Chain A
Amino acid sequence: MTPVATTAPARNLLKTRELGILLALVLLVLYTTINNSRFLSGQSIRDNLLNTAILAVMATGQAVVVITRNIDLSVGSVLGISAWAVATMMSEHQGLPMIVAIVAGLAVGAVAGLLNGVLVRYGKVPALVVTLGTLYIYRGITYQWAGGSQVNADKLPAHFLNFANDNLLGIPWLVLIALVVVGGATLVMRNYRVGRELYAMGSSPQAAELAGIKVARNLLGAFVLSGALAGLAGVLFAARFGTVDASAGTGYELNVVAAVVVGGVAVFGGSGTVWGAGLGALLLTVISSALAVLDINQFWQQAIVGALIILAICADRLVAVRIARSLRKRDARA
């Protein structure tokens, strides 16, 4: 069975995608540090990594979904409902260990993601419509539940809030979790069969069905993963910021999709990597803090993100055209 692989030159083009982001990151950090050496200080690096952690966790799930040629716009609302649920739980049962909070967040998110997956697969409703609808529904549920109130940092147990700052061997827990999530997902997507299948589903949904791939199981899995990771992000959010109300996570879906697109995962599916999405998340966060340090008007940040998204899409299109051309040439020669 011939692998659905890309030709050697095309694979190099794809590699340059992630390398491109890495290069941009290095250049940016260098430029900012030259201007202000404090940018590479311990506290500053810590702050940057902590700020990235939550976005990277969500970008991982989103990358998997987008690779299958779908999208999940409900992640911001899932973060919100998970953050509220966990914060309420922890403020009422102060003794619960952190691991319970994490599992609770994962569970809430997984259920939310499952609903998305079921509607997409069995209801045959396009992912854009489903997740747009659940974006509204989950946010509405959170507001109904929370009313106008909030869980204040002074009501949460100390061990929960300290988790955000505590280290294991010098690395903050939040960052470790993010690394494990991004790294784990990258490994699975690259080395395991299910990863290959997900890419195939994104490249050509019909061909994947005909080839006997268990599309239903994989699709549900992708959405459950995205939801669960958004739920996890909700727990991390509550621990880091302490004060949670019904509006937590509003608008996050834009940042997550931006991180994923900038990181090289094409909206058309079938290409890109999870660690690229993680890099995208890091790049976006570093841009934000670099702007503050360079004393550039912070308001340029969103405009820059938008410009980067457009550049990323153009680059992906260029790569796709080149691959198509080289595949055609290879077929013509064969």
Chain B
Amino acid sequence: MLKKLGSWDAIIILLTLIVLVVASVTVDNFGTSRNFTFMVLDLMPIILVALPMTFIIITGEIDLSVASILGLTSSLMGWFWNHDLSIQTIIPLCVLIGAVAGMLNGFLITGLGLPSLAVTIGTLALYRGLAFVVLGDSAVADFPFNFTGWVTGTLGGGSIPNVLIPIIAMAVVFGVILHATPVGRALYAIGANAQAAHFSGIRVARTKFWLYVVSGAVSGLVGVLWTLRYSSARADNGAGLELAVVAAVLLGGVSIFGGKGSLPGVLAGVVLLTALQNALRLEDVSGQALNIVTGALLVLSVLLPNIVTTVRGNWQRRRLRQSAAQ
């Protein structure tokens, strides 16, 4: 019977669906297409950053600097804009800068072998600090309407938000890589046992390095999208996002020790948290109170499987003792 409890991923996906259905029925104005657009826009930064973060955590590392890279590219975007660069240049340039920031992370972690938690706490401060050096406390807000309008708008004025397209595209690409290619399998192997993976021919250091580059590039892209969504480039954009992303990824069933987890679980985790926040805000519950739920869900996502394993172990031991006694 205990075996039927199923994997955490399945539980989260089910919980997400339940929350969506219940909210549509009980909360006024939740199930409208305009609200769907608002929800997708709220989801956007978390879900995009969660994609490479999932890969990184599966290999047993972590990247806490993602929000700071977002802030850095956002403030650089404002700075470039004020210095008359064209928006068509700024966008790819910012993604590139994000990738370079990720390269520094990758070099420190794989080249010098430093612990990723400490390094990314350091780069979290460094990049956020640089963001403030670039733009100070002020904001740049006069981005061209056709770009900001695209980010906040929908397909042909209908009910499908424009940003849903890149979100789905990237989720599919990352999902396929993780679950259906040797690269993905290598990630699980590295997470399970880095040394064994190394001896079996996987280039551990190189793989991890490129993961950090991708994480940086995606964070840079999200910095651009965030800036266009709020039409506001600020050095403090995205502050605290890294915690929300890690929380969503862990909630989605990825093990912090590495080697376990799936992308659908993570996607469900992100949707669950965003939907809850959106529904509670419509009910005038303070967004901060939602933090209690997020924190509790995060701890439970690791605690419950541990409890299940312990209980199962005790139960099996009792059965063994009983059969030995007979």
Chain B at the A interface: SS class: helix
**C-alpha spacing A124/B112, complex, angstroms:** 30
Task: Decide if B303 touches A119 in the complex (CB within 8 Å).
Answer: yes
A136 in contact with B117 given A125-B303, A299-B136 (CB within 8 Å): no
Contacts of B97-154 to chain A: CB distance below 8 A = 108, 112-115, 117-119, 121-130, 132-133, 136
B129 touches which one: A128, A268, A299 (CB < 8 A)? A299
Task: Decide if A257 touches B121 in the complex (CB within 8 Å).
Answer: yes
Interface size bucket, B side? Answer: 35 or more
Task: Decide if A310 touches B126 in the complex (CB within 8 Å).
Answer: yes
**C-alpha spacing A299/B293, complex, angstroms:** 34
**C-alpha spacing A268/B114, complex, angstroms:** 10
**C-alpha spacing A204/B99, complex, angstroms:** 36
- Closest beta carbon of chain B to A318's beta carbon, Å: 10
Query: Does B294 have its Cβ within 8 Å of any Cβ on chain A?
Result: yes
Contacts of B243-264 to chain A: CB distance below 8 A = 243, 246-247, 250, 256-257
Contacts of B299 in A (CB 8 A): 119, 123, 125, 129-130, 133-134, 137
Number of residues of chain A lying within 8 A (CB) of chain B: 47
**C-alpha spacing A148/B117, complex, angstroms:** 34
Which one of A18-26, A139-147, A176-184, A272-280 contacts B? A139-147
**C-alpha spacing A313/B121, complex, angstroms:** 11
Task: Decide if A135 touches B243 in the complex (CB within 8 Å).
Answer: yes
Query: Does A12 have its Cβ within 8 Å of any Cβ on chain B?
Result: no
Task: Decide if A134 touches B295 in the complex (CB within 8 Å).
Answer: yes
Task: Decide if A313 touches B133 in the complex (CB within 8 Å).
Answer: no
**C-alpha spacing A136/B243, complex, angstroms:** 9
Contacts of B62 in A (CB 8 A): 128
A139 in contact with B118 given A132-B243, A303-B129, A310-B108 (CB within 8 Å): no
**C-alpha spacing A128/B62, complex, angstroms:** 11
A254 in contact with B121 given A125-B302, A137-B296 (CB within 8 Å): yes
A305 touches which one: B129, B133, B290 (CB < 8 A)? B129
Query: Does B316 have its Cβ within 8 Å of any Cβ on chain A?
Result: no
Query: Does A171 have its Cβ within 8 Å of any Cβ on chain B?
Result: no
Task: Decide if B115 touches A132 in the complex (CB within 8 Å).
Answer: no
Task: Decide if A133 touches B296 in the complex (CB within 8 Å).
Answer: yes
**C-alpha spacing A148/B287, complex, angstroms:** 12
A306 in contact with B306 given A125-B299, A132-B243 (CB within 8 Å): no
A304 in contact with B115 given A136-B291, A137-B291, A258-B121 (CB within 8 Å): no
Which residue of A has the minimal Cβ distance to B301? A129
Query: Does A108 have its Cβ within 8 Å of any Cβ on chain B?
Result: no
**C-alpha spacing A194/B259, complex, angstroms:** 35
Contacts of A126 in B (CB 8 A): 256-257, 302
Give the tally of cross-chain contacts (CB within 8 A): 148
Contacts of A246 in B (CB 8 A): 288
- Closest beta carbon of chain A to B179's beta carbon, Å: 24
Which residue of B has the minimal Cβ distance to A136? B295
Contacts of B243 in A (CB 8 A): 132, 135-136
Query: Does A241 have its Cβ within 8 Å of any Cβ on chain B?
Result: no
Query: Does B286 have its Cβ within 8 Å of any Cβ on chain A?
Result: yes
Which residue of A has the minimal Cβ distance to B118? A267
- Closest beta carbon of chain A to B296's beta carbon, Å: 6
- Closest beta carbon of chain B to A181's beta carbon, Å: 24
- Closest beta carbon of chain B to A67's beta carbon, Å: 14
Contacts of A141 in B (CB 8 A): 292
Which residue of A has the minimal Cβ distance to B287? A143
**C-alpha spacing A143/B246, complex, angstroms:** 22
**C-alpha spacing A38/B125, complex, angstroms:** 29
A309 touches which one: B118, B239, B291, B302 (CB < 8 A)? B118
A144 touches which one: B114, B129, B240, B286 (CB < 8 A)? B286
Task: Decide if B125 touches A313 in the complex (CB within 8 Å).
Answer: no
- Closest beta carbon of chain B to A50's beta carbon, Å: 23
B302 touches which one: A129, A254, A310 (CB < 8 A)? A129
Contacts of B269-302 to chain A: CB distance below 8 A = 286, 288-296, 298-299, 302
Contact with B along A141-176 (1 / 0, CB 8 A): 101100110000000000000000000000000000
Contacts of B123 in A (CB 8 A): 306, 310
Task: Decide if A306 touches B122 in the complex (CB within 8 Å).
Answer: yes
**C-alpha spacing A135/B108, complex, angstroms:** 28
- Closest beta carbon of chain A to B112's beta carbon, Å: 7
**C-alpha spacing A26/B302, complex, angstroms:** 46
- Closest beta carbon of chain A to B72's beta carbon, Å: 10
**C-alpha spacing A258/B122, complex, angstroms:** 8
Query: Does A289 have its Cβ within 8 Å of any Cβ on chain B?
Result: no
Contacts of B186-207 to chain A: CB distance below 8 A = none
A299 touches which one: B132, B291, B298 (CB < 8 A)? B132
Query: Does A11 have its Cβ within 8 Å of any Cβ on chain B?
Result: no
Query: Does A301 have its Cβ within 8 Å of any Cβ on chain B?
Result: yes
Task: Decide if B288 touches A140 in the complex (CB within 8 Å).
Answer: yes
Contacts of B235 in A (CB 8 A): 299
Query: Does A228 have its Cβ within 8 Å of any Cβ on chain B?
Result: no
Task: Decide if A144 touches B306 in the complex (CB within 8 Å).
Answer: no
Task: Decide if B295 touches A133 in the complex (CB within 8 Å).
Answer: yes
Q: Known pairs A140-B289, A300-B129, A303-B129. 6 more at Cβ < 8 A? A: A128-B256, A136-B294, A136-B298, A309-B118, A310-B108, A313-B118
Residues of B bordering A, CB below 8 Å: 62, 108, 112-115, 117-119, 121-130, 132-133, 136, 235, 239-240, 243, 246-247, 250, 256-257, 286, 288-296, 298-299, 302-303, 306-307
Q: Which 3 A-B pairs have the closest CB atoms?
A: A306-B126, A303-B129, A136-B295
